[in-house]
Structure 1
Amino acid sequence: MNYQDVLYFSETYGLLYLVLLFAIVLVYALWPRNKKKFDDAARMPLEED
């Protein structure tokens, strides 16, 4: 295994890892069950104590 092999592996699987991570975060953020939690968090700065 030389430098080019390691570079190819890290570029390919690093990209796949980041795309998969992005998809998981996107699904979590848009999941209908989480809507109320995110709506409440969005209104927090506007609420008076």
Structure 2
Amino acid sequence: MEFAHNTLVWFSKSFGLFYLIALSIVVVAYTYWPSKKKRFDQAATSIIDDEDRPWR
């Protein structure tokens, strides 16, 4: 079974497009999932909570 170059290029571009769209949807859904809010808020403020002092 032999494929033409243009067919393979079209398939790879189409597959890549749908793959990136699906990956983006998964990342956005994970980010905005309600049960993850506490974890992300803690990560956002964890650097602020630490006092910046020289080590003794």
- TM-score where L is the length of structure 2: 0.82
1:46 to 45, 48, 51: 48
The runs of 4+ residues in structure 1 deviating greater than 6 Å are: none
User: What root-mean-square deviation, in Å, do the aligned CA atoms of Structure 1 and Structure 2 show?
Assistant: 0.9
Matched to 2:21, the amino acid is V
Alignment gaps of 5+ in structure 1: none
| Post-superposition CA distance 1:16-49 (Å, at most 9, x none) | 0000000000000000000000000000110125
Percent identical among aligned pairs is: 35
Give the helix-richer structure, 1 or 2. 1
Alignment gaps of 5+ in structure 2: 52-56
- TM-score where L is the length of structure 1: 0.93
